[in-house]
């Protein structure tokens, strides 16, 4: 049976069917900070009005959210009007036909692991799974391929802007975040990058609980 939530998710994903709109979403999602209309227009080679149209459609669909700030950093009279800025929401959208509930299964398994005290075994399995990664010379490329949306924070640090396990991690943070760290360590080892980068727990709002730092 299709629920109203399923239909909302379908509407959100349908908003990405338009090619220009999909590219606009990617520009915002790939940004390390909220993005303005002018930046999207320049990146896509379209007019500012058209960029604003597509961005606002994405807001209506629940894929982006807005804020306002003066890009010049000035305040007070003469500082100009605040710019409308966009960033990707953390809300997840998924559609399955027929309906499936993999998240419920993940939540039940995470709860069972906590009750059984089997976190160490989970971490070993996660690291072993990560070690199956193929060789890769670039840590950001490696982690982007696994949904982490990495972004460089200087030459020696990489933040992961997306947690692929966000909803389950919210409910079972020690178990899932520990699993996540173990899997990333495995990915780095499997790709041949363990000697170059170190994964460590650095929990912060709005991003993955793990960050990479360049090995000494």
pTM: 0.76
| pLDDT tens, N- to C-terminus, the chain (216 residues) | 444 555 567 777 888 889 999 999 999 988 878 999 999 999 999 999 999 999 999 999 889 999 998 866 656 555 567 899 999 887 777 767 677 888 899 999 999 999 999 999 999 999 999 999 999 999 999 999 999 999 999 999 999 999 999 989 999 999 999 999 999 999 999 999 999 999 999 988 888 999 999 987
User: DSSP assignment of the chain, as one string?
Assistant: ---HHHHHHHHHHHTT-SHHHHHHHHHHHH-SS-EEHHHHHHHHT--HHHHHHHHHHHHHTTSEEEEEE-TT---STTS-PPEEEEEE-S------SS---HHHHHHHHHHHHHHHT-HHHHHHHHHHHHTTPPP-S-HHHHHHTTT--EEESSTTEEEE---TTHHHHHHSHHHHHHHHHHHHHHHHHHHT-TTTEEEEE---TTS-SEEEEE--
């Amino acid at each position: 049976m299709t629920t109203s939530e399923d239909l909302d998710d379908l509407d959100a994903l349908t908003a990405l069917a338009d090619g220009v709109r999909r590219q606009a979403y990617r520009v915002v999602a790939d940004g390390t900070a909220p993005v303005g209309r002018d930046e999207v227009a320049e990146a896509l080679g379209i007019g500012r009005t058209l960029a604003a149209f597509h961005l606002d459609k994405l807001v209506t669909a629940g894929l982006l959210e807005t804020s306002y700030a003066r890009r010049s950093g000035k305040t007070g009279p003469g500082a100009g009007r605040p710019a409308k800025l966009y960033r990707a929401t953390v809300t997840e959208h998924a559609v399955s036909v027929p309906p499936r509930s993999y998240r419920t299964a993940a939540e039940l398994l995470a709860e069972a692991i906590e009750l059984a005290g089997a976190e160490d075994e989970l971490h070993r399995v996660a690291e072993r799974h990560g070690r199956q990664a193929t060789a890769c010379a670039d840590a950001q490329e490696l982690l982007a391929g696994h949904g982490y949306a990495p972004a460089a924070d200087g030459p020696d640090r990489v933040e992961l802007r997306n947690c692929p396990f966000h909803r389950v991690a919210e409910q079972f943070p020690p178990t899932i975040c520990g699993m996540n760290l173990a899997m990333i360590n495995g990915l780095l080892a499997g790709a041949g990058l363990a000697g170059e980068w170190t994964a460590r727990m650095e929990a912060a709002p709005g991003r993955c609980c793990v960050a990479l730092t360049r090995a000494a």
